[in-house]
Structure 1
């Protein structure tokens, strides 16, 4: 890890990709976001916008809101069908045995 900077709840550093394509999330970042062993993270990638990683629980809450009829409030530019497809995809990513995912303090 090189060039660590931690200030005002922000962090910047570099990580190397290992031979299996894996990276290590720095301890400071895991602590900042309360990421623990066994947590499920979602990786979002867009060839133009880049890569984002977030806890499953954050997206599970969004999916729950969509299923509760709040799709237009969350994604006003998307159709109800698009939002439901997104929500179903999120829920489909939940792995059996991941019982702690909705319990983060966001």
Structure 2
């Protein structure tokens, strides 16, 4: 598989927690303590996005520094 793509499997624990596979964490530079956003659509499924991606998108849309 290409370096910019990854497919992995996560198990859901008793408390509803999942572990993001190391390869995916490395690909997106996800570190302990980082915030992620869970996007859900009953028809399309679940997506996990690192919050700084959404912040940079909002900065671009709003044309500012997102209140910082």
Please say whether Structure 1 and Structure 2 have the same fold, judged by a TM-score greater than 0.5. yes
CA RMSD of aligned residues (A): 1.7
Q: Give TM-score scaled by structure 2 length.
A: 0.82
Relative contact order higher in (CA < 8 Å, ≥ 6 apart): 1
Shift >3 Å, 4+ stretches: none
> Which entry has the higher C-alpha Rg, 1 or 2?
1
The corresponding residue for 1:21 is 16
Q: Which runs of 5+ in 2 are unaligned?
A: none
Instruction: Compare the two structures and name the one with the higher strand fraction.
Output: 1
Cα distance in structure 2, aligned partners of 1:13 and 1:62: 26
3-state SS of the aligned residue for 1:54? strand
More helix by share: 1
Q: Number of aligned pairs?
A: 64
